[in-house]
Amino acid sequence: MSQRDDILNELAAMRDRQAALESQLAHLDKDSGWPPVGYYTAYHLVSGGLLGIMAASISLLFNIIGSTMVGKHPLEIIRIYLTFPMGETALAIDSSSALAIGCVLYLGTGTILGAILHVILTRWLTAPGLGRRILNVSVLVLVMWVVNYYAILSWLQPLLFGGNWIVKTIPWWVAAATHLVFGWSLLFMEPWGRFDRR
């Protein structure tokens, strides 16, 4: 046998040993449950919540800039959303602490919706191509807006508080644009929240 044959035999033995070790490792990984097999829902809910608070911050900033440009209070949208728990008196609020609580509620809502939307985007709406994904998320958030505003708030707020300030005070195009900014922000940050098995 030549030296070359010895080297080839040694390489073959090493490949066999590597395959055996990889098989043992796969068996150990399977028994340990890590990394998880299939879609890791808990991870995507948590990362979606974090992305949701960032997307809500962007949509709130969008509204602050827009309100200032048209001569309204910078946190006008927060005042209007606070009519849900407070009624019409919320429209005249100028208290920093009340507006801060309203901002926290707005961001908290973004966290919850971000978690849900992130799971939908990473599990079911994974179409290739940015244009298709933008279309998917646009339709999703616009449906969410229509359901929230017209199927729920349009009758629930009058029933509970005697007025329909959210639906009647916020122009439809502002509400739709706010939802679109939230959805698009979440979509563009979505790769940061994907689980990487490596």
Cα(99)–Cα(83) distance, rounded to whole angstroms? 12
Q: What is the pTM of this model?
A: 0.73
Residues 1 and 49 in one domain: no
- Whether 48 has a pLDDT exceeding 80, the answer reads yes
Domain count, the chain: 2
> Which residues fall within 8 angstroms of residue 192, CB to CB, at 6 or more apart?
47, 51
Cα(82)–Cα(78) distance, rounded to whole angstroms? 6
Concatenated DSSP letters for 37-53? Answer: SS--HHHHHHHHHHHHH
Query: Among 35-44, 46-55, 86-95, 165-174, which range has the highest average pLDDT?
Result: 46-55
Fill in the amino acid letter for 142: L
Residues 8 and 78 in one domain: no
**CB-CB contact of 182 with 141 (8 Å):** yes
Residues 178 and 115 in one domain: yes
Cα Rg for the chain, rounded, in angstroms? 26
Residues 29 and 78 in one domain: no
Residues 130 and 183 in one domain: yes
Residues 70 and 148 in one domain: yes
Range of the domain at 117: 41-193
Residues 7 and 88 in one domain: no
Residues 68 and 121 in one domain: yes
Residues 45 and 80 in one domain: yes
pLDDT in tens, 88-139: 777 777 788 888 888 889 899 999 999 988 888 888 877 778 888 888 889 9
By mean pLDDT, which of 25-34, 74-83, 110-119 is the weakest? 25-34
Residues 76 and 139 in one domain: yes
